[in-house]
């Protein structure tokens, strides 16, 4: 039985028949059990041990203890009417240290997928959500070309085991974060501050995507597959100021087009290559690489949280920057309400982004694979979580998505981020994105009001009247 069905309100915005409604998680953020059944360290396990790297010294233990509680979590998903669940597979479980297959690790995902199917929930698997085996990082990580080939081997292991049952595949989640936050600014694992390593990582991640697609075509040919990118509408603070316009061009190139163009157009943008020339980017691109990277995909996953308003730099940024090639650019506020992460709530940006993809990169079905917000949720005296801000956030963003569909965008699904409160990477356990509240001391789950509202949307395949 559903936790809640909002049957009293009329449907004003119906979504297409067959629209996929789901929620998403990531392995390191929820699984815990970091030393269980043969799992070895990922770069995030190592990063969490560094003093000051993660807020409050938080680590991947216990996370949401999903490794042990997955069956109950699937029951919870079913109660929320979820039609699909997007999870990520932990590379250090499946091929510990990047080496041989680990049957115990694969068995866990076997059990998870089977339980999802029994509950009528479509499994959507992401192969890489940032938990590179630490042993491969020691050997160069994503800055080393060999890691792309190790990723293909790992993909084959997962696809051989799960390929007959997974409904949708994403190779990489947000390679921008892996490359630039991981190897340029160092604010994410592995905590490296080396611009040449960051640009090498960009290309090797994309090469890994292409090689993984080849393995998925062989071992999971019946399910759609693609890549998930964190994309941002980017605009100049002063559209008539050539310096601001150029700053916006650089940021758009480094955030969006550096990934979209090679995957969907077969080549890196010329202006981005020029911006990154000082860091040796093209040294890593070999003959045949772009043909591998640009092999057709069946879906593009879109992670959307906000838009970027960009102004020219005042001075060159002297410290580690994620925006190598556009150092020192200024990101200006628009004066809109903010989430607990400090991100402005900008639903119109989602419509704009989807329309841009539809116009400039046509022909590929789109799925919103992440969208959500962190707020300071607490369980009240009556045992409920009245997260009115999150509920409102989801409502306006779903209306923005529907507006894009009305204008012809081939949007086929929406995955809320996230199912459970979790370890929010370097922010630790303090930032809560979940539809379900997790007490990390007791592991008690409490369904939030936003989850009850979302269950109603799913059951109707549409939004209530405003």
pLDDT in tens, 114-132: 999 999 999 999 999 999 9
Task: Select from 368, 390, 381, 382 the least CA-distant residue to 436.
Answer: 390
Cα distances (angstroms) measured from residue 65 to each of 23, 96, 304: 18, 20, 27
Q: What is the mean pLDDT of residues 236-246?
A: 97
Task: Pick left, alpha or beta for residue 434 (phi over 0 → left; psi -120 to 50 → alpha; otherwise beta).
Answer: beta
Q: Is residue 466 part of a domain?
A: no
Is the pLDDT reported for residue 7 higher than 60? no
Is the pLDDT reported for residue 252 higher than 50? yes
pTM score: 0.96
Residue 174 among the catalytic residues: yes
Q: Is residue 433 part of a domain?
A: yes
Is the pLDDT reported for residue 6 higher than 70? no
Cβ atoms within 10 Å, residue 363: 8
Cβ atoms within 10 Å, residue 62: 20
Give me the residues paired with residue 303 across strands. 230, 370
The model's confidence at residue 314, banded by pLDDT at 50, 70 and 90, is confident
pLDDT of residue 320: 83
Is the pLDDT reported for residue 9 higher than 60? no
What counts of helices (H) and strands (E) characterise the chain? Answer: 17, 15
Q: What is the mean pLDDT of residues 220-248?
A: 98
Q: Is residue 111 part of a domain?
A: yes
The model's confidence at residue 92, banded by pLDDT at 50, 70 and 90, is very high
Q: Is residue 235 part of a domain?
A: yes
Contact 177, 184 (CB under 8 A): no
Residue 103 among the catalytic residues: no
pLDDT tens digits for 140-154? 999 999 999 999 999
Q: Is residue 4 part of a domain?
A: no
Query: Of the listed 81, 322, 370, 424, which one is catalytic?
Result: 370
Residue 182 backbone dihedrals phi, psi, to 5 degrees: -85, -35
pLDDT of residue 317: 59
* 324 secondary structure, DSSP code: T
Q: Is residue 36 part of a domain?
A: yes
Torsion sign, CA atoms 7, 9, 10, 13: negative
Is the pLDDT reported for residue 4 higher than 50? no
Structural domain count of the chain: 1
Residue 406 backbone dihedrals phi, psi, to 5 degrees: -60, -25
Considering the chain, what is the average pLDDT of its residues? 96
Is the pLDDT reported for residue 243 higher than 80? yes
Report DSSP letters for 136-167, one per residue.
HHHTTGGGSTHHHHHHHHHHHHHHHHHTTT-S
Do β-strands 11-14 and 462-464 pair in parallel, antiparallel, or remain unpaired? antiparallel
pLDDT of residue 316: 60
Query: Of the listed 137, 156, 174, 322, which one is catalytic?
Result: 174
Cβ atoms within 10 Å, residue 452: 20
Q: Is residue 361 part of a domain?
A: yes
Domain extent at residue 430? 11-459
Contact 347, 399 (CB under 8 A): yes
| 88 burial level (CB within 10 Å; 0-12, 13-18, 19+) | buried
Residue 256 backbone dihedrals phi, psi, to 5 degrees: -110, -60
| 30 burial level (CB within 10 Å; 0-12, 13-18, 19+) | buried
C-alpha 220/C-alpha 213 separation (Å) is 10
CATH number, domain at 292?
Answer: 3.20.20.80
Query: Which are the contacts of 203, defined by CB distance < 8 A and separation ≥ 6?
Result: 281, 284, 285, 289
Residue 263 backbone dihedrals phi, psi, to 5 degrees: -75, -40
Task: Select from 444, 435, 334 the least CA-distant residue to 375.
Answer: 435
Q: What is the mean pLDDT of residues 421-442?
A: 98
Task: Pick left, alpha or beta for residue 242 (phi over 0 → left; psi -120 to 50 → alpha; otherwise beta).
Answer: alpha
Is the pLDDT reported for residue 1 higher than 50? no
The model's confidence at residue 2, banded by pLDDT at 50, 70 and 90, is very low
pLDDT tens digits for 329-359? 999 999 999 999 999 999 999 999 999 999 9
Burial 229-267 (b: 16+ CB within 10 A, else e): bbbbbbbbbeeeeeebbbbbbbbbbbbbbbbbbbbbeee
Q: Is residue 78 part of a domain?
A: yes
């Amino acid at each position: 039985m559903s936790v809640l069905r909002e049957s009293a309100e009329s449907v004003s915005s119906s979504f297409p028949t067959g629209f996929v409604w789901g929620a998403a998680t990531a392995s390191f953020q929820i699984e815990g059990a970091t030393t269980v059944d043969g799992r070895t360290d990922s770069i995030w396990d190592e990063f969490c041990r560094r003093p000051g790297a993660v807020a409050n010294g938080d680590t991947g233990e216990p996370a949401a203890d999903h490794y042990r509680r997955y069956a109950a979590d699937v029951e919870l998903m079913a109660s929320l009417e979820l039609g699909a669940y997007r999870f990520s597979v932990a590379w250090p479980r499946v091929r510990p240290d990047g080496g041989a297959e680990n049957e115990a690790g694969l068995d866990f995902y076997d059990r998870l997928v089977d339980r999802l199917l029994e509950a009528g929930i479509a499994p959507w698997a992401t192969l890489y959500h940032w938990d590179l085996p630490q042993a491969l990082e020691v050997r160069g990580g994503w800055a080393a070309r060999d890691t792309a080939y190790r990723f293909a081997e790992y993909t084959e292991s997962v696809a051989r085991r799960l390929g007959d049952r997974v409904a949708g595949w994403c190779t990489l989640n947000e390679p921008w974060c892996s490359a630039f936050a991981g190897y340029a600014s160092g604010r994410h694992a592995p905590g490296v501050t080396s611009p040449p390593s960051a640009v090498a990582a960009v290309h090797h991640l994309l090469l890994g995507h292409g090689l993984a697609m080849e393995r998925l075509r062989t071992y999971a040919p019946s399910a759609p597959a693609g890549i998930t990118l964190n994309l941002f509408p980017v605009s100049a603070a002063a559209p008539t100021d050539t310096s601001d316009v150029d700053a916006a061009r650089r940021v758009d190139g480094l955030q969006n087009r550096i990934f979209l163009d090679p995957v969907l157009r077969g080549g890196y943008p010329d202006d981005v290559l020029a911006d990154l020339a000082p860091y040796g980017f093209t040294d890593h691109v070999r003959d045949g690489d772009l043909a591998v990277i640009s092999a057709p995909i069946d879906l593009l996953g879109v992670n959307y949280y906000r838009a970027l308003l960009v102004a020219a730099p005042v001075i060159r940024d002297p410290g580690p920057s994620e925006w190598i090639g556009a150092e020192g650019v200024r990101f200006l506020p628009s004066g809109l309400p903010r989430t607990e992460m400090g991100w402005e709530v900008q639903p119109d940006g989602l419509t704009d982004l989807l329309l841009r993809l539809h116009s400039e990169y046509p022909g590929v079905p789109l799925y919103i694979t992440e969208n959500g917000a962190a707020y300071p949720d607490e369980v009240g005296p009556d045992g409920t979580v009245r997260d009115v801000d999150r509920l409102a956030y989801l409502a306006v963003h779903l209306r923005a998505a529907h507006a894009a569909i009305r204008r012809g965008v081939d949007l086929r699904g929406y995955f809320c981020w996230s199912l459970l409160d979790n370890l929010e990477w370097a922010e630790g356990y303090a930032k809560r994105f979940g539809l379900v509240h997790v007490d990390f001391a007791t592991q008690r789950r409490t369904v939030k009001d936003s989850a009850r509202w979302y269950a109603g949307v799913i059951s109707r395949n549409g939004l209530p009247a405003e």
